[in-house]
Structures are given as C-alpha cells and as structure tokens.
Amino acid sequence: MEEERISLRVRERERLKVLQQVEEGQLKQVEAAQRLRLTDRHVRRLQARLRREGDRGIVHRLRGRRSNRKIPESVTQRAVRELRQARYAGFGPTLAAEHLAHQGLGVSRETLRKWMASAGLWQPRRRQVKQVHVWRPRRSAFGELVMMDSSPYRWLEERGPAGQLIALMDDATSRVWGRLVAHDSTEENLRTLRGWLERYGRPLALYTDKNSLFVTSRAAQQAEQLQDQPARTQFGRALAELDIEWIAAQSPQAKGRIERLFGTLQDRLVKEMRLAQIATLEDANRYLQITFWPFWEKRFTVRPAQGSDAHRRLERPPRLEQILSVRVARTVANDHTVGWNGARWGVPREAVCAGLRGARAEIERRLDGTHWLRFRGRYLPLMPCPNAPRPASPSGLRPPGLADRNPKPLTRIKTKYSPPPDHPWRKPWKRTFLSGAKPDISTLR
C-alpha cells in the first residue's frame, strides 16, 4: 500500500506535535490551549479530528478551495475596466481606491494594487539607496514654524497654462495653504503669505530656501547702515516688520516635509483637477480654496503635541496693506513727481506738503495695484503721469527732451590731438630746431 503524502505548514506541524503530547498524557488540554493560543474547545475539536482522520485532520479545511471572502471576478473586471479609462491615467492604488469607492467599488488599496499590477496598470517602485539625513521632530504647537516654498509644474497638464504652486505648510500639523500663480514673484509670494496671515495670524518663524526672493547679495544701503540693519529683500523687510523670524534651509533635504508635500500634490492634485475639468488658474485657485484644502485638512493633518496656537494677532488691516508691499527710495523732482520703472508718478496738488520738493521718499506699490509716496511718516497718494517729461540734470547743461528736439548725434570730443599733414610741426626744419641740432640751410630755401 502506497503511503499518503501530506504537506503541513509550520503552524500545523507545531499543532500536531502539541496535540500528540496531549494524546500521550504529557500535556493537559488547558496547557495545550495556552501554548497554541487557542480555546479549550477548539483543542478538543482538533483532537477529535486527529483521532478520526489521522494527521490529515490537522490540515485547514479551506486548503485548495476558493475562499469564502474572495471578491467576485465580475467586480475585479469592472474595476480594471474602469481604471483603463483615460481620465484615470497615472492613478496610483491609493488614489484609485478612493475614487472607485465613490462608484460603489469599495476595495482596499492593497487589493487594488495587486489587480493593477497584474493588469499592467501599476508598476511597483524599486527602493533606491538614498543619503541618510537626521530626522527632525515636528514642532510642538501650531504656528511655531511655517514652511514656504514654490513648485513649477504642469498643474493643469495640457488644458491650461503652466504655473507655480506657492504653498505654506505648518510643521506641527501639516496644515497647508497655497495658490497657483503664473510667475513666482515677490508680489505673488506676499499675496500667498497674506492668505495665511488673514486665516491664522502671524507665525513665530518662517522657513524657506535661499531663493533670491528671500536672500540678497547686495551691500547694505546707507539708510540700512544708519539703522544697523542688514541688507534685506522686499519679502525679508516685510517679515521683519511683521516680527516673524526668518530661517533659511541649508539644503533641500532640510525642508523635506514641504518637498514631500509637492510630490504628493503633483500626483493627487493634478488628477483631481483633471476629473474636475479645471483649465484656468482662476478656477484652480477657487477649487483649492473651496474643495481641496478643506479635504486636505480633514484627510492629512495631524494633531500637534500641544493644543495651543502659537499664532499672534494681526494689526489693523491698513497696516497689513502697507507692510505687504514693494518699496523703493526715490528723489522727488521739482514738479513733485517721481520715476519708477520708466514711468512718472505725481503727487496731487491738494496732497503736496512742505519740504517735499527735492526730498528723499519711498514709493510704495501695494498688492491692490495702488501707488503711495511714503514721506516723513505720511502716505501721499500717487497718480500716473504718462506724458510728463523727465526732469533736467542738476547742472542744467542738458535740458529734458534734448534728444527728441535734436535727433542728430552730438560731435564726439577727441581726447588726443592729431595735427594735419600740412601742419608746421610736421616740417623737417621745425623738428630740427626743436631737437637743438644745426639746421641744413639748403632745406630752408
């Protein structure tokens, strides 16, 4: 008689060994149940199977059979067919599982990962050996440290223009606020910062990279030296007036949390806006404010170690308008106008004050597009003067508009005199007398 082969797993072999000890009287059923982490009743059930069927009785009843919890094949085919559509191109298992749940296909992301891998819709990523960086713990309270950065990307894909996402992220809670803009400029960064300030208040510190918007290589100007201040950019000056500490990251890895945020948004936000059929930056910012950021706060924010809020209250709104602006120093002309970027701006007659003519003042361009003149603690409105001529030079030798009245080029002044060929200096007898030698009489006749 041919012997029957029975394949047992490790757990089943351990159970068989313990049950045989119980049959031989070496162990009690209670001790066997504790060792196998089973109930007494289940140990007696396994003993009955062992006496009735032999060693085969220890094998699990569902081996080689279809699981009772297996998802029907029709559900698998429907999910794969849905993910093959163009609007789900590039979706990962996690994001795909969330959207399939809205359509009544509630499966776990790991199950969906297996289906997508077998269907060729997902390729597992290989782990790469990366440089080891020291992990930095989160700040303990909301508002202690806010990270700020921008990410250029095709956020609207081919439906709209390329843009930059300027985002601020709290280090303690991962709460995010941001805007999609066309260019990463000082004004757009100030507008994004204003959105955070109006919602939560002034944080204790702002963490950025060493972009030219935040760091300048110029030397400190005379006014800054008199006030014992370092050279700052427009953004840095606004942070100093808001009493927000600025911290510079020494490497991209140092601000890894916001870098990983952009990696997540470049996958999730792009696909969400594709499904919403958003094609303009205005619609994208409206979608971010109304739909996406509230969803992010509910889905990804964490609870800080301390429940207190470290943000500080803002000053009056007009004060915020003055701080979040671009300022340049200029000299007021005799006609009470100032120039900036090739344009002339004038002070209205009713706003002219004593000492303004020829004085140093600051032009302030606010985020709403208005221009103001900051002079001795006062703010004077400015109006554009498109047809105003440029003022004359201080010496008065070159009146304004001279190039327009005399289009001919001016004669260039020679710095070295070159005598003509018939000049007496070029005659040989002149050179002889100048050299002190005896002249030749024949040459003088």
What's the per-residue H, E or C state across 134-203? CCCCCCCCECCCEEEEEEEECCCCCCCCCEEEEEEEECCCCCEEEEEECCCCHHHHHHHHHHHHHHHCEC
Each residue's pLDDT tens digit, 258-287: 999 999 999 999 999 999 999 999 999 999
Give the DSSP letter of residue 276. T
CA atoms within 13 A on the CB side of 351: 15
Q: Inform me whether the pLDDT recorded for 405 exceeds 50.
A: no
Comparing 236 with 224, which gets the higher pLDDT? 236
- The arithmetic mean of pLDDT across residues 401-405, rounded, is 46
- Quick one: pLDDT band at residue 131, thresholds 50, 70, 90? low
pLDDT at 435: 54
- Give percent of the chain above pLDDT 90: 38
What pLDDT score does 316 carry? 66
Least confident of 93-97, 109-113, 311-315, 316-320: 316-320
pLDDT of residue 146: 95
Confidence class for position 444, pLDDT limits 50, 70, 90? very low
Q: Which residues of 101-130 are buried (b: 16+ CB within 10 A; e: fewer)?
A: eeeebebeeeebbebbeeeebbeeeeeeee
What value does the mean pLDDT take over residues 153-158?
93
Whether pLDDT at 395 is above 70: no
Domain boundaries, the chain: 11-58, 73-118, 146-300, 325-409
Q: How many helices and strands in the chain, by DSSP H and E?
A: 15, 12
Percent of the chain's residues with pLDDT above 70: 86
What's at 364, amino acid-wise? Answer: E
The two three-digit tokens of residue 26, written as one number: 């070496």
pLDDT in tens, 317-353: 658 889 999 998 899 998 889 998 888 999 998 988 8
pLDDT for res 434: 52
pLDDT of residue 128: 63
DSSP, res 248? E
pLDDT at 398 over 70: no
CATH class of residue range 146-300? alpha beta
Residue 151 near residue 127 (C-beta atoms within 8 A): no
Tens of pLDDT, residue by residue over 61-99, are 777 777 777 888 888 888 888 888 888 888 888 888 888
Q: What is the CA radius of gyration of the chain?
A: 40
Least confident of 54-68, 350-364, 428-442: 428-442
pLDDT at 380: 92
